Structure 1
């Protein structure tokens, strides 16, 4: 990434996010990680700033991703036999990454969908299992770890696509000698 004001602002936001990731905010019997709140704020801001072309379609796609996240987390809670070999986090990660790659065409759309889906899915999961637990904890460190892993994976896929596009768009030079 080239040096720019955008890069500096992004760096400051990431540092503040890291510092706040160990702070828990308590509201009634709900404990919310400050990093979760910041991630959700970033996702909402990017959803507004980047303005998806078909907003209703994006909201429906987001709803399917949120329900998939919550479903697999709750399914693993009630029937852990299926997830004894493979951790549920990896199943959710793979499913949501595939959905992001399918639904989003640009990198910004993919990352926005990822962040919104995992934030809303985590909140839905925590509110759903509230009856089984004494208090609600939204956005623990494993959630933040999965958020970062997904963004890094999507950035890697974006760089790979860019590399493949530049490589395939090269035209052969006329008059170049053929190698034998």
Structure 2
């Protein structure tokens, strides 16, 4: 990434996010990770800034991703036999990555959908199992790890797409010797 104001702002946001991820905010019998709140705010800002012509479609896609996250996390609680060999985090990761790649058209949309679905899915999951537990913890370190892994994977896919587009857009020069 070239040196620019955007890079500096992004670096500061990442550093503040890392520092805040070790703090928990407690209200009533609910604990929120400060890193979760920052991720949710970034995702909301991205969702507002990445306006597309089909805002209702974007909300429906987001709802399906949130439901998928909460469903698999709850399903793993009630029927753990399916997830003895494969951790539920990997199933959720693969499913939501595929949904983000399918629904999003560019990198910003994909990352915004990813972050928003993970944040809202985690909140829905925690509120759903609240009856089984004594307190709610939203956004633990495994959640933040999942967010980072997905964002890095989406960045890698975006860079691969750019590389493949650059290779396919090169046209052979007329009269140049072919390499064998």
Cα deviation for residue 50 of structure 1 reads: 1.8
TM-score under structure 2 length normalisation: 0.99
Aligned to 2:88: 88
Aligned to 1:164: 164
Instruction: Tell me if structure 2 keeps the 8 A contact 1:52–1:109.
Output: no
Give the number of equivalent residue pairs: 180
Match of 2:159, SS state, is helix
Q: Which runs of 5+ in 2 are unaligned?
A: none
Instruction: Tell me if structure 2 keeps the 8 A contact 1:43–1:112.
Output: yes
After TM superposition, which residue ranges in structure 1, 4 or more long, deviate above 6 angstroms?
none
Q: Which runs of 5+ in 1 are unaligned?
A: none
Match of 1:175, SS state, is coil
Cα deviation for residue 49 of structure 1 reads: 1.3
Distance 1:163 1:150 in 2: 20
1:100 aligns with 2:100: yes
Task: Write out aligned runs for 1:138-157 (5 A).
Answer: 138-157=138-157
Distance 1:88 1:160 in 2: 27
Distance 1:7 1:52 in 2: 25
Aligned to 1:129: 129
